[in-house]
Amino acid sequence: MIFRRDHLEAIRSGEKTATRQPSNAKRLSVGEIHRAVAGRGVPRSEGECFVRVTDVYRQRLEEMTDADADREGGYSLAEFREMWREINGEWDPEGRVVVYEFEYAGDTDPRESDIPDSDAENSSREP
């Protein structure tokens, strides 16, 4: 998932817990863990964290509430509309988007913690 660089800190702090994408975007599923990166061309070491998708649904842009805009990173609805225009071009109130709600899952991939180290003391492998 690609975000603006300033959104990564908002994700880490829990201020940004949702994102809206045009309805033709790749579909993600609830429970999946995804890398959140800060734009194209930003080195991973400088701009990434991981999020776990908690909800997925469709919505018309005109159905957004102030609370929805706040979950996008602490924006008012007017501020969110302006940001949408900067990123996606036209604000079409009738336009349908896919909403992904998520939670911060860490700066390292939590799926990697399920893989034991080869030198772990309690390794279940036979010598």
Q: Domain coordinates of the chain in residue numbers?
A: 2-110
Residue pLDDT, tens place only, 33-86: 999 998 767 666 667 899 999 999 999 999 999 999 999 999 999 999 999 999
DSSP state of 93: T
CATH superfamily of 2-110: Sulfate adenylyltransferase (3.10.400.10)
- The pLDDT of residue 127: 46
Residue pLDDT, tens place only, 94-108: 999 999 999 999 988
pTM listed for this prediction? 0.82
User: Virtual CA dihedral for 41, 5, 71, 55, nearest 10 degrees?
Assistant: 30
Helices vs strands, H then E, count in the chain: 3, 5
Decide: residue 113, CB within 10 A, 0-12 exposed, 13-18 middle, 19+ buried. exposed
pLDDT score of 29 more than 80: yes
